[in-house]
Chain A
Amino acid sequence: MIEAELSCSVQRWCPGATGVTSAAKLSGGASQETWRFDITHPDGPIGAILRRSPKGYGAAPTRAAGLAAEAQLMQLAYEAGVPSPRVMHVLTPDEELGTGFIMQRVEGETIARKILRDDEFAAVRPILARQVGGVLAGLHRLPQDKLPKLRSRSATQEIAEFDRDYRSLNWPKPVFELALRWLRDHDPGPSAETTLVHGDFRNGNLIIGADGVRAVLDWELAHLGDPMEDLGWICVNSWRFGEIDKPVGGFGSREELFAGYEAAGRRVDAARVKFWEVMGTLRWGIMCGGMMQRFREGPDHSMERAMIGRRASETEIDLLRLLAPRGG
């Protein structure tokens, strides 16, 4: 039934389009959905993706940039040569599709386990970390005067926010307390420069092909802050999927990531990257706690959420490995 609204929509802004086929929901909770579909066109079908909040779900969570900002950022990235899908259309209220945007579908793989294990990606794995460094450098260089309005967060504010999130869970965890102390004691202060930060740059949000990174997705948590945050987040052990000796997404080394970033003309501060890796590990742990809380309070009483709650202990062992490594 979404095909009827999409058909009307594409005929208005895509010259030659006669309708849509094969609409299928890819993912999404109640407030945000992703759909794939094909635009019927005399030159051949055009693969497209819709990201939207259905009608009645206008309010974004506090940390989210909002779908309009996401569309603007992806378009800016695309224009600057950062791998990104082309934004084709921003939804208008009279289309009855809610709020959001339609982008061109980029073919490739997002599932980390496949990227890290399948033969298809064997040739690209050794170059990915360096490439990712270059992509991040391009992203951090996006012109600030063209950015949409975004929240701005320093390390100090982030620590305070995670502290509050953690305490609201009423979930006493000595390892998390220790991590919060460590973060306060090692707060690097304001960064030398503030840039656009993607905020969720990791496996799962990158489309990878046999030639490498084809698109950066999910700009939902984009904000202004310390660019080293993105470098630290992709090193968090939770995104290595078992390949724990390859800190960058399970496919490469920090040295390769840093080299790619610096080859693109930007400087790395390794101590700050480590700080953000610790912060990111705690951040994922607290997010697991949030899943547990939502599972308990409903209405999404799903087994998957329950089990993600139990994954907080993975971040506890990773925090200990970072902060209190055992000998040898």
Chain B
Amino acid sequence: MQDEPTPIELTKAVADFLRNDITPLISGHQAFKLRVAVNILDLVTRQLTQEEGSDAREVERLRGLLGVNGSVTELNRALAERIAKGEVDLATPGLAEHLWATTMDKLAVDQPNYASYKRELERGG
């Protein structure tokens, strides 16, 4: 087991330092790039915090849909193939719900301010 503080805590500390202490000192194109860098660290922090739970739920849904076992990547590949072959589609019970849940979990990490995501969140997650 690795020592502490955790990657989440470390990433957050770097992001806070750049945001609070460095941002006021930088201008122009470098300021834009700094903002991108801070956004990346924030995204990584969200992913480290949420990934374990959302992957576990995704795997569970995928097992139910596909009736097979595997890693989250293997199961996604299998589902993609079945959709491509036309074996699974929106009429398949559970598929739309699964894709919605998975996509909402992704947006929560990638882009929680994206307007479509916020709208769907208001609809009840």
A residues neighboring B (CB under 8 Å):
172-178, 180-181, 237, 240, 242-244, 303-304, 306-307, 310-311, 313-314, 316-318, 320-321, 323-324, 326, 328
Contact = CB atoms under 8 A, between A and B. Distances in A.
Contacts, number: 88
A181 B79 CA distance: 13
Given A244-B115, A313-B106, A175 B99 contact: yes
Contact of A320 (B81, B99, B110, B123): B99
A324 B96 contact: yes
Contact of B100 (A304, A313, A326): A326
Contact of A311 (B86, B110, B115): B110
Contacts of B96: 320, 324
Contacts of A323: 90
Given A172-B79, A244-B116, A313-B103, 5 more contacts: A178-B90, A307-B39, A310-B110, A314-B114, A317-B120
B37 A175 contact: no
Give the secondary structure class of A's interface.
helix
Given A174-B99, A320-B100, A303 B111 contact: no
Contact of B115 (A173, A175, A242, A326): A242
A307 B116 CA distance: 18
A311 B111 contact: yes
A178 B89 contact: yes
13 contacts: A173-B76, A176-B80, A181-B84, A240-B115, A244-B116, A307-B40, A311-B110, A314-B107, A314-B111, A317-B116, A320-B96, A320-B103, A326-B123
Given A178-B83, A180-B84, A320-B99, A303 B90 contact: no
B36 A303 contact: yes
Best-surrounded residue of B33, B76, B80, B81 (most CB of chain A within 10 A): B80
Contact of B103 (A306, A316, A328): A316
A244 B113 CA distance: 13
Nearest to A171: B80
Given A181-B84, A326-B123, A317 B117 contact: yes
A163 to B, nearest CB: 9
A321 B123 contact: no
